[in-house]
Structure 1
């Protein structure tokens, strides 16, 4: 047997994630878990791991095969995306948040639109 640790995090700016749980599926067996680190004792060998947040339905879905080594702990780091419905990130090192640039562009466009509408007297 070996141990798989899945360290799940989300962007600090996305506070709504804190209110949700995660769906983790290992080799087809679903487990609902919380943000942070969750440990799974598994037989040695490759395991198919799927993770997704329950925020706005199913957000940040990602799938990977992780080899678990007998007598050792393997850690996988999952990071939820900045924008709902984008894929998350998972890997052997802490992951960057996907969608940060898109979120900045979206907010900038919305702010500019409100400013323009305000100047035109439409808002």
Structure 2
């Protein structure tokens, strides 16, 4: 008999039923989670865990960079900020400096918060009400 993990099922369903905007929000939240893990691991001297968390955050930033729509002028500015956040992660990993991870987190948090507002405004425009994300 196969045992199903209800949490894994929920996660899978939430990803497969989410809008592209919600998926982007999930990416931002995942990136912030991994940056926080890297920061904690750096403070505890857990080098391998720190490196793994940094690599996961970098993979998410890479995905966000790849999916930017270059037809919008703001995409160039966003790309520069993504590259800077990524460089902070690399430097923080090399220097074992959690302050550099915090700099990356600040940038990603700004993107995440702005993206949440965009989703809420879009829902309000589409449905006439705003639901919390």
TM-score normalized by structure 1? 0.31
Q: Which has the higher helix share?
A: 2
TM-score normalized by structure 2? 0.29
Q: Which has the higher strand share?
A: 1
